[in-house]
Each structure stands twice: as structure tokens, then as C-alpha cells.
Amino acid sequence: MKIAIPLAGGNLSQHFGHCDQFAFFTVEDQKILKRELKEPPEHIPGSFPKWVKEEGASVVIAGGMGSRAVDLFKEAGVEVVSGALCEEPQVIVEQYLKGELEATGGDCGH
């Protein structure tokens, strides 16, 4: 499994479309095997979901995310967890893997 997390300043970005990097975590048997930081393509509506899927992610964990992005991820078969609190990305992934991640379903309102 590969989990994608949008970052701003090294932590979870609270606005999905304004992130400056993505952290991609490769997970096997509930353990993090690898972490990669990648710069996303230019933010054009719809570009991030397509790119994240092409990078092999099956889960994206975000702060706030607009409904169009959520729909595009779902259409691509990528699970969306939104409304996560601003934390260091590895902590977020560890919480997700343990079933302890508190996410409110945050929406950017667009």
C-alpha cells in the first residue's frame, strides 16, 4: 500500500491545493518501509488526484479538500481521509495504520 500526504512546510497541509510537497509512504504488514518526498505538478483543478494515483497511492490523507478532488480520487479508486489535524506526516500514517487517526471529513468548501 502507498499512502500520500500533502505537505506545507513539512507538515500536513490544511488546504490540499496549496501544498508544496507530497510525502509518499510505502507500507507493508502495517509497517512503514519507505518515505519519499515529491514535488507535485502545477496545481490545475484535477491535476493532483491524477498525479497521486499515477504515483501509486491507494490512500490520501489530507486536512481540507474540496468536493471535486474527493470525487476525482474516489473515481480513481483512491481512499480519501480528510480533516486530519496538522501533524508530522509519519505520525499521521502511524495513527492511520493503528486505526487511531481522528479525521473530521474536512472540506475546503469548493
What pLDDT, on the 0 to 100 scale, is given for residue 46?
Answer: 84
- CATH code where residue 46 lies: 3.30.420.130
Are 49 and 78 in contact by the 8 Å Cβ rule? The answer is yes
- pLDDT, one tens digit per residue, over 5-46 is 999 999 999 888 889 999 999 999 999 999 999 999 988 888
Which range among 8-12, 57-61, 63-67, 68-72 has the greatest average pLDDT?
A: 57-61
Residue 94 is assigned to a structural domain of this protein: yes
Domain of residue 80 covers: 2-98
* Interaxial angle between packed helices 67-75 and 47-54, expressed in degrees from 0 to 180 and rounded to the nearest 10: 30
97 pLDDT more than 50: yes
Say if 106 falls within a structural domain: no
Output phi, psi for 10, to 5 deg: 90, -10
The verdict on residue 15 lying in a domain is yes
Look at the chain and report how many structural domains it folds into: 1
pLDDT over 90, % of the chain? 65
Chain centre to alpha carbon of residue 84: 10
In a domain, 19, yes or no: yes
